[in-house]
Structure 1
């Protein structure tokens, strides 16, 4: 790769994001470093996404069926030409210098194979307090983790094509947690850097029930992906382990009150433990939005944690009984083992 002016391909997977796709593409074409090409992979959208993409001089790859974000990103790579691949979700609008800053970091450190950025503390479109909750949390935990990390999130990430080819494609069996599985392979050979100089504004979920459903769905793959990971150190954590445990213990200990009402103190103590598990996050929210919003934030955060715990338990059970569930590497290992013992 030329170290002076590397070419960049922006790859945007999209599924029914007509609300944000135009803002996303406008931000890409307003970059201080112009990309060589922009590839929008429409994953069988049923809205007007494809018409919006055609308003811009991008390459539109129209998938005939919905294969998920991993498959869409792989299609985008195949249709692109740049030496650096910049992956961008279609519900994010980039700051004007995001691509240039990512390229500078990649070319300045030969050992860094991937650079990914943080989400702004303000949403792309402000749709209410639920979205404000999620955007603040997403900004905070990424912001405090900047530096060399073990996990990359490809909603907003740049990787050299040669590194991508060495690591291999995204696992198309995964529609969630694909970033974590891919990072496990990537971190074995290259450094991953999270930076606050690559920023995008995200349009997040704005209603509570869809937010809980999303978190429940995504957390189902936490245990299957963790079970096949080879590298444990340096992985990013959005939530404190103590907070997750405390939240899970609240409903688990509520039945103790059947023996005596005094035992209600146990889930109450767990709830207080959850509330104080991440003081940095609480201070950040209070500074940004005030103490009243912090109470709302903490209540929503608690319900999100319950969804995460329930989803992780469900996913763990699915992983035990369904060999098709989870990363493809597990299935390949089983197939190799079966072949080895076959007569």
Structure 2
């Protein structure tokens, strides 16, 4: 394994987590060739944390969002492969080794990924391994859900990521899901079942607003219509994927309401649930209309749910 690998750690107001994420990158069984921290306009002094680690580079920029911060790191790196880590998350010591091994077995892949596990604020386990295999048709698999799940499990071929345009800075959420689709449309995606990252759940994660997440994940789904509109099976699966996401975030919104009821954020949780209900109702109507049209075009072949 002679290929070079870079780690980009993006941070925004998370200096209290940053040291642990840097150290998880420094304690790999196969070392990163470059570690870059991108400070996206923080006011909590991440520079003082990075200064403790000689060889770790710091790039600062005005606040521009997660996707823009990742693009900054992508442009600054020159490695063969690249991994992106949020400052509040952690890598397992074998992450680089397993990513390189998977790329070696799949040299045409645009990205490879592994499993992850969710942990709490202090690193305590919150569940078992989370892993879904991508299958032989990655694009089709992604239509009905995000099989990859956690971005830090991914090791990209850096040049292929640049070739597809990197991350869409217009997306405030779900920019990784958007990249997966664009990568799958052009290059193979492969996976392995070993845990390579820990997703720290601390109650202030960007994914903690289910209604906002649903809004943006459905926008990413909308974008795929350019690839699915002329294929009945793919279009059917794209719209099925919208129902899958509504069901997934329904559970999240119920959990959000329960926790909000017990705390001081009950009003916020209720507002999120109203936004979710509006989106969900529109999606159910969209799905019903699609099934009616499909039944008319192919009577007797497609049953109503």
The TM-score with structure 2 as length reference comes to 0.70
Question: After superposition, what is the alpha-carbon deviation per residue over 1:193-239, rounded to whole angstroms, capped at 9, x for unaligned?
Answer: 343324222221337xx88862232222122221111456699x999
> 1:48 deviation in Å?
2.9
Q: Which residue of 2 aligns with 1:108?
A: 105
* Partner residue, 1:75: 72
Pick the aligned partner of 1:300 from 241, 255, 275.
255
Q: Which runs of 4+ in 1 moved over 6 A?
A: 232-235, 237-240
Residue from 215, 220, 242 that aligns with 1:225: 220
In 1, Cα distance between equivalents of 2:177 and 2:245:
21
User: For the Cα contact (< 8 Å) 2:39–2:59, is it kept in 1?
Assistant: yes
Across the aligned residues of Structure 1 and Structure 2, the Cα RMSD in angstroms comes to 3.7
The aligned counterpart of 2:202 is 205
Partner of 1:244: 247
The answer for the alignment partner of 2:23 in structure 1 is: 26
**Retained in 2: the 8 A contact 1:24–1:90?**
yes
Report the secondary structure of 1:87's partner residue.
strand
Larger Rg: 1
Deviations 1:72-129 (A, max 9, x none): 01000111121101111111111111111011101211232201233224436258xx
**Equivalent of 2:177, from 153, 171, 180?**
180
Report the number of matched residues: 252
Residues 231-271 of structure 1: CA deviation (Å, up to 9, x unaligned)? 56699x999839829x96xxxxxxxxxxxxxxxxxxxxxxx
For the structure 1 residues 180 and 206, does the alpha-carbon distance in structure 2 shift closer, same or farther, using more than 3 Å as the test? closer
Inter-CA distance 316–40: structure 2 relative to 1 (3 Å threshold): farther
Cα offsets for 1:117-170 (capped at 9, x unmatched):
33224436258xxxx7xx54xx66x42x13434355433311112211221121
| Consecutive unaligned residues in structure 1, runs of 5 or more | 249-273, 275-296, 318-343
Separation in 2, partners of 1:112, 1:146: 15
Q: Distance in 1 between matches of 2:50 and 2:280?
A: 36
